[in-house]
Homo-oligomer: A and B are copies of this chain.
């Protein structure tokens, strides 16, 4: 039957996406699968119960990891009137939030490279500097401008996504 096929495909995709987000976003295995499952669940949100059953995990683990994903601004939930359950879904802004995180990471990288550059310059301040080391310092300087352009690109792409809404 068609429906069973889709459920099977969903399982496979959750697993594949799970492994990806685990390593690339440093999420715990379960967080990663919850996020993947929600990303593939369109229309309505997904209840706590459904997650428990689909991912075969305990209540407590589901709870902990849902909170973690919420604190990372990757998911959110809504409620239905007259229904006590929460319905979880990926955060509408999660792509933008992830981009923000990436931008922060690059800014951090820039800061570190600036410190390294200072350190290198201090080392050579009194010594005469050979061409090889001069090259290294220039390379470092160039890398910082490269990181700057990365940050600019990410910010531009973020604006593009915001426009789209």
Q: List residues of A whose CB falls within 8 A of some B CB.
A: 6, 9-10, 13, 16-17, 20, 23-24, 26, 39-40, 42-43, 95, 105, 108-109, 112, 115-116, 119-120, 122-123, 132-133, 136, 139, 142-143, 146, 149-150, 153, 157, 160-161, 164
Residue on B nearest A158 in the bound complex, by CB? B146
Nearest 5 CB-CB pairings of A with B:
A153-B153, A146-B157, A42-B133, A20-B112, A17-B112
A-B contact pairs, 6 of them (CB 8 A): A6-B119, A13-B119, A16-B112, A20-B109, A24-B105, A146-B160
Residue on B nearest A92 in the bound complex, by CB? B139
Partner of A42, one of B10, B109, B115, B136: B136
CB of A23 to closest CB in B, whole Å? 7
Whether A13 lies near B136 (C-beta < 8 A) is no
A116–B119 Cα gap in the complex (Å)?
47
Return chain B residues, CB-CB under 8 Å to A119: 6, 9-10, 13, 40
